[in-house]
Structure 1
Amino acid sequence: MDPHLPILLFGSFGVLLFLNFPIAAALGISSVLVIAVFDLAPLELIPQQLLSATDSWTLLAVPFFILAGNILGKTAISERLVRLARVVVGQFPAGLAMVAVIVSIFFAGISGSGPADTAALGAILIPGMVAAGYDRRSAAALMAAGGGIGIIIPPSIALVIYGVVANASISKLFIAGILPGILVGLSLFTVSYLLFGKDPNIRPEKRGSLREIGVAFKDAAWGLLAPLIILGGIYGGIFTATEAATVAVVYGVIVGFFIHRDLKFSDLPEILIDTGVTTGVVMLLVCTASVFAWVLNTSGVAAAAASGLLHLASGKIVGLLLINGVLLVAGCFMDAISIFYILLPILLPVVKALGIDLVHFGIVMTANMAIGQITPPVGVNLFVACGIARISMKEISRAVLPMVAAQAVALLVISFWPDLSLFLTRFMR
């Protein structure tokens, strides 16, 4: 391997990011530059690589889950879930903060996207929390952190991409994400109580009567059923993860148009356009990142980096700590899809050599990506929450530190307790 190749590859990529090029463009340009300068392959290979990157039955789950999330997001499901959580736990200390976490967990089973969860729930809960006496910055930070649960608990677009790149079972990844996602939610419960539980400025919620709880539960039942149908079908072997995506779309159409009747046919163009744009962004990242990954593998950079990392890792514990450190730093600057394609070619040989289960590692990696969504300077959930709360990035970056610390503790548990991720997968049909 030419020692100048990785310098040019990562150097050009870093410069392009510094110049505010989109990540997809930076990945593609740096890859083409290295291929041309070092004559790694004919340039005609690039279109073939772009095509093969998206020529996957499994990736069909991505646009369908995005479409399902957009359909259900246009309904009032989020408001109904919030109303149910408020009458059940709102009266407890830090009750509205707990409502935010609970609803984030449930909504994660619908959208599969951290920014989407933050936007849908933050628009309702951030103003409500501020009106109840919560600090605006901390309320926005909590909603951003809760949104990160959306890529751990299935259906998760991040887990679909990991499964494609790592050649791991997406159905098992989906089931494996349930308990770790709940653990991350419990970590946010803890930090919410410590931050808000004894704050005298916070007004407690009114206790809901049994009748109010029953009405709210009936109203939110279809929202609660969505993740149960998707995960139950996968767990029971009724359909695959890709087929579950189409089931989610059909379910969203039935609920939105015929049960709740929140949707109108005039909403369809906007929903389809949003789905097309989001899918296009995801697939463009998949294409250019796959070319970057091909360069890493073909040039020998991935093998050399994996060998160096294995040399540093004296065992599974040290190896996981090193890998988590690399992923947490990478999450500050890149999105999950780019990280999967760039770092997995380097990390997979290390993971296999250390005897780490690929499904377990997928959850570990995705939990890191969830933290990356709330760490500046490129924490996408932070930008969404800032826009809703009308605060600066500097303000929310300080307020989110306790949530980052809580999720980091949960990450360590997920990393060193594999059975938390793998327990449910052992009973799959």
Structure 2
Amino acid sequence: MILVAVLFFGLMLAGVPIGFVLGIAGLTGLVQVGGEHFLVMAPKRFFEGLDLFTFMAMPFFILAGEIMNRVGMTQRIAGLADALVGYMRGGLAHSNMVASVLFAGMTGAAVSDAAAFGNTLVPAMVKQGYSRPFACAVTAAGSIIGPTIPPSNLMVIYGSLAGVSIAGLFAAGILPGLLICLVCMALIVALGRKLGLPKQEGSPSLREILSAFRGGLLALIMPAIILGGILGGVVTPTEAAAIAVFYALFVGLCIERTLRMADVMDMLVRTARITGVVFLIIASASILSWWMTFMQIPQQMADLFLSLSSNPVVIKAMILALLLTIGMFMDINAALIILTPMLSALTQTIGMHPVHAGVMIVLALNISLMTPPVGACLFVLSSVTGERIERISAALWPFILVEVGVLFTITFWTDLAMFVPKLLLDM
């Protein structure tokens, strides 16, 4: 066990891609347990790690977001958000948050949000007088709304591995995402005069708001298709994702007519690359997860937690501390796959509803996307805008604090966390 742990962290610190780290550590564990004869299990585990129908939803969601972004819906959503809240002090910062909520229904990926608005809203904010680190911090803080409000690729992974209703997880993610938006907007209001954030002159007219709404209407229909179909029990998440791709193609090719077949091929290649990276992590982690289960590591970790305290409040706090810490140093997809067996069993032991536990785990790991040193959104924004990561991080810490506050609220206020699932799905 020590050998595998040393190898795992050593390779990760050496900068080896996480998919290869997981695979090498898993293979080492197999050899350690049963010698070289156990290596014949690796291909079987590699395949079975991906042999889940619900995983097919991920590339469809990624492709649908790529198409809508290529068609120009990002700018229209930003325009709608600006028409709604842009008149406030710090208007473009508020618009950034609202746009993240609207954009979340198309992609379900924080990195896509960070890249899209890093290219569009950050330059616009800098031009209007915001500091570049603050503009990047607002974008990073809003980007985690994407994988919290459905569709969420992390929820698809967790639901598939833990056997939890993905529709329930999607429903449970709506309120936390909206709360993150509201508390971040409240923080922007509080910082407005202190930082001297710009304020537009005058408010938009009803005609301008309606015009912006018409411009963004085609983009707003997509989350309605996804959520309405899944929560209404009409389609599965995978079917909803496929329908979303068809709708995005119809908008791009037939309505907007800004999409070419050459663009489609380029987006298919990009989707394959993104999906390939995630699936390599999932498949490699499946080997390591089998070894951990064979060694009874999840049970040992659960027993360790329970030996420290039997109080559910204390155990939840320890789980959150573990997730936030691990997320600072490890790819969140890998962390989710490795920790799901342990945490799903532990949360059931203390009486948490599986959907409540799932949204807590996903939200905690989402926050890790914007925490140094390996927060993916920080690296994306740094590469897109040219701003240094340490300057973005310095401006980001107030947003991290309020979002952690939302995380603790959702974790310890069960009725609030389960309000939407009970309302929509009678869970």
Q: Counterpart of 2:180 in structure 1: which amino acid? A: V
Which residue in the other structure is 1:21 paired with? 16
Separation in 2 of the partners of 1:353 and 1:255?
47
Which residue in the other structure is 1:234 paired with? 230
Q: Offset at 1:21?
A: 0.3
Which residue in the other structure is 1:428 paired with? 425
Structure 2: which 5+ residue stretches go unaligned? none
Matched, 1:39 2:28: no
Which residue in the other structure is 1:9 paired with? 4
Matched, 1:162 2:125: no
Separation in 2 of the partners of 1:342 and 1:303?
13
RMSD: 1.4
CA contact (8 A) 2:91 2:198 kept: no
The within-5 A match list for 1:14-413 is 14-39=9-34, 42-200=38-196, 202-204=198-200, 206-413=202-409
Q: Offset at 1:206?
A: 4.9
CA contact (8 A) 1:302 1:346 kept: yes
Q: Offset at 1:37?
A: 2.5
CA contact (8 A) 2:90 2:199 kept: no
Separation in 1 of the partners of 2:387 and 2:405?
27
Deviation by residue 1:258-278 (Cα, 9 ceiling, x = unmatched) = 122221112011101001111
Q: Offset at 1:196?
A: 2.7
DSSP 3-state at the match of 2:146 = helix
Q: Offset at 1:155?
A: 0.5
Over 3 Å counting, the alpha-carbon distance change for 1:205 and 1:105 in structure 2 is farther
Q: Counterpart of 2:30 in structure 1: which amino acid? A: I
Separation in 1 of the partners of 2:197 and 2:164?
49
DSSP 3-state at the match of 2:16 = coil
Separation in 2 of the partners of 1:302 and 1:37?
18
Over 3 Å counting, the alpha-carbon distance change for 1:161 and 1:124 in structure 2 is same
Deviation by residue 1:268-316 (Cα, 9 ceiling, x = unmatched) = 1110100111111111001011111111100122211111011123211
Structure 1: which 5+ residue stretches go unaligned? none
Over 3 Å counting, the alpha-carbon distance change for 1:389 and 1:196 in structure 2 is farther
DSSP 3-state at the match of 1:385 = helix
CA contact (8 A) 2:89 2:198 kept: no
CA contact (8 A) 1:90 1:205 kept: no
Q: Offset at 1:197?
A: 4.5
Q: Offset at 1:203?
A: 4.2
Q: Offset at 1:418?
A: 2.0
Separation in 2 of the partners of 1:64 and 1:197?
43
Deviation by residue 1:305-335 (Cα, 9 ceiling, x = unmatched) = 1110111232111111000000000110112
Separation in 2 of the partners of 1:118 and 1:165?
27
CA contact (8 A) 2:91 2:199 kept: no
How many residues of Structure 1 are paired with residues of Structure 2 in the alignment?
424
Separation in 2 of the partners of 1:140 and 1:179?
24
DSSP 3-state at the match of 1:309 = helix
Separation in 1 of the partners of 2:392 and 2:315?
32
Q: Counterpart of 1:13 in structure 2: which amino acid? A: F
Q: Offset at 1:233?
A: 1.3
Q: Offset at 1:336?
A: 2.1
Over 3 Å counting, the alpha-carbon distance change for 1:240 and 1:385 in structure 2 is same
Q: Counterpart of 1:428 in structure 2: which amino acid? A: L
Q: Counterpart of 2:212 in structure 1: which amino acid? A: A
Identity, % of aligned positions: 37
CA contact (8 A) 2:105 2:151 kept: yes
CA contact (8 A) 1:65 1:249 kept: yes
Separation in 1 of the partners of 2:293 and 2:201?
56
Runs (4+) of structure 1 moved beyond 3 Å? 197-201
Q: Offset at 1:389?
A: 2.4
Q: Counterpart of 1:416 in structure 2: which amino acid? A: F
Over 3 Å counting, the alpha-carbon distance change for 1:49 and 1:201 in structure 2 is closer
Separation in 1 of the partners of 2:44 and 2:421?
36
CA contact (8 A) 2:87 2:199 kept: no
Separation in 2 of the partners of 1:413 and 1:104?
21
Q: Out of 414, 417, 423, which is 2:410 matched to?
A: 414
Over 3 Å counting, the alpha-carbon distance change for 1:71 and 1:84 in structure 2 is same
Deviates more, 1:97-106 or 1:80-89: 80-89
Separation in 2 of the partners of 1:397 and 1:405?
12
CA contact (8 A) 1:180 1:420 kept: no
